[in-house]
Amino acid sequence: MSLHGLTSITLGVPDVDAVASYYEDFGLRRVGDRPGRGLVFATADGGEQLALRPAERRRLLEIGIGADDPDDLGRVEAGLRRLRVEFEHDAGVLRVRDPNSALQVSVQVSPRITEAAAKQELTNGPGRLDRPNGRAPAVEREGRVRPRRLGHVVVGSLDQEASQRFFTEGLGFKVSDRVPGLASFMRCSTDHHNLLVQQAPVNFLHHTAWEVDDVDEVGRGATAMLEGHPERHIWGLGRHHIGSNFFWYLKDPVGNFSEYYSDLDIILDDQLWKPSVVEGARGLYNWGLPPPPSFIHPEDLAALMTGSHAPGA
Ligand SMILES: [Fe+2]
């Protein structure tokens, strides 16, 4: 069969308590300490998808990739051998590190995530009165927004093209779209992207992205996060061109961005998707306010560069 998605991520953070309460506010459910994994949080449909561990500086420590069966791990082994990348394959888990993004990846057989179908709300439009005589159901919603699952992560790599080769030729990801010399959007599921690798002067986590039901949940989730915490706002509401998703980016207390998103492009048939090379502003977004400079170059990048050269970092 094949790889089928991003199963989990582990973040190393300097202040676990503050970051933990941020992700609870974000709508993840605190599960508790898991020996060997850290403090674990669950999404509504994807289960235990986030773990936090103490670290000197913020970093993405590991991503988990789900595969359908052991043959898939055999294919990954063969790909990594062709690239002459060392790996460990033990007790059903294949562990490998991309030298250019410094990303630790573990691939293992795991069940696919099934999501309950989100309700399609009726809308009014010119000449189309589909919900007369009442308020939009979306404005009557109450309660905390709960992300359904982890969708993608975006990381900086010292050599984006080498990282792209590692993930495509080594692990079996597919390229959905590219911004030449800067970024490649790659998938290991039917999502348009599960991993975006950007060219960067330092390895760092740019953002994690969490799927919600629709654009109203993107807006409701971000609005609730900003109540009493305007400093969490980074960029949104907007719609990306690459991947088509609605987005709103927020910032956790140690500088990781987290995105609520909905309506991402889905690729069921590889033959029908035409990967494209996207240049200019469309590489970033289709509509919305332009991104702030701190979205492109996070404010702690220089500090992360210094930290990455410190002994023991
Ligand atoms: Fe994103």
Give 98-127 pLDDT, tens digit per residue. Answer: 988 889 999 999 999 999 999 999 999 999
What tokens were used for 241? 């061109």
Cα 142 to averaged position of ligand 1 atoms, centre (Å) = 25
Cα 122 to averaged position of ligand 1 atoms, centre (Å) = 27
Cβ contact 51:37 at 8 Å: yes
Cα 153 to averaged position of ligand 1 atoms, centre (Å) = 7
What are the helix (H) ranges across the chain?
Answer: 16-25, 70-82, 160-165, 215-226, 293-296, 301-309
Given a cut of 50, is residue 24 above it in pLDDT?
A: yes
Given a cut of 90, is residue 281 above it in pLDDT?
A: no
Cβ contact 141:216 at 8 Å: yes
Q: 205-237: per-residue pLDDT in tens?
A: 999 999 999 999 999 999 999 999 999 999 999
What tokens were used for 124? 């009014």
- Tell me the whole-structure pTM to 2 decimals: 0.96
Cα 256 to averaged position of ligand 1 atoms, centre (Å) = 12
Cα 126 to averaged position of ligand 1 atoms, centre (Å) = 32
Q: What's the pLDDT at 313?
A: 43
What is the rounded CA–CA span in Å between residue 243 and residue 261? 10
Which of the residue ranges 33-42, 190-199, 200-209, 276-285 would you say has the lowest mean pLDDT?
A: 276-285
Cα 65 to averaged position of ligand 1 atoms, centre (Å) = 18
What is the rounded CA–CA span in Å between residue 46 and residue 78? 29
Cα 290 to averaged position of ligand 1 atoms, centre (Å) = 15
> How many Cβ atoms are within 10 Å of 295's Cβ, its own excluded?
16
Q: What's the pLDDT at 269?
A: 96
Rg of the Cα atoms in the chain: 19
Cα 79 to averaged position of ligand 1 atoms, centre (Å) = 27
What is the rounded CA–CA span in Å between residue 110 and residue 287? 37
Cα 195 to averaged position of ligand 1 atoms, centre (Å) = 9
